[in-house]
Amino acid sequence: MDFGLDKKSNSLKTFNTIFIVIWLLLACFPFIWTFWGSFKVRADFFSRADWWYAITAFNTLIETGARFTKEAYSGAWFEGEFWKASRNTVIVTISVVSISLFLGTLGAYALSRSTKNNIDSVFLSTVKYLKKKDFNYIGNTTGNKNTKTKLEVYKHCLKKLKLKNEECIAIEDTEISLKSAVKAKIKCIAFPGDFHTDSKFKNSLIRVRKLKTDLIFS
Domain extents in the chain: 145-216
Question: Predicted confidence band at 92 (pLDDT cuts at 50, 70, 90)?
Answer: very high
Mean pLDDT, rounded, for 76-92: 91
Which stretches of the chain are assigned E, i.e. beta strand? Answer: 169-172, 187-190, 206-207
Model confidence over 106-161: pLDDT tens digits? 877 766 656 667 677 777 777 777 777 878 877 765 555 545 456 777 888 888 88
Q: Which of 164, 180, 165 is nearest to 203 (CA)?
A: 180
Distances (CA, A) of 152 to 137, 139, 159: 16, 12, 10
> What are residue 119's phi and psi, to 5 degrees?
-65, -40
Kindly report, residue by residue over 47-69, the tens digit of the pLDDT. 777 878 888 888 888 888 888 98
Reported as a pLDDT band with limits 50, 70 and 90, residue 84 is very high
Contact by Cβ (8 Å): 77, 84: no
Q: Please provide the size of the chain in residues.
A: 218
The model's pTM: 0.42
Bridge partners, 143 (sequence order) = none
CATH architecture label of 145-216: 3-Layer(aba) Sandwich (3.40)
**Angle at the Cα of 98 from the Cα atoms of 94 and 104, rounded to 5 degrees:** 145
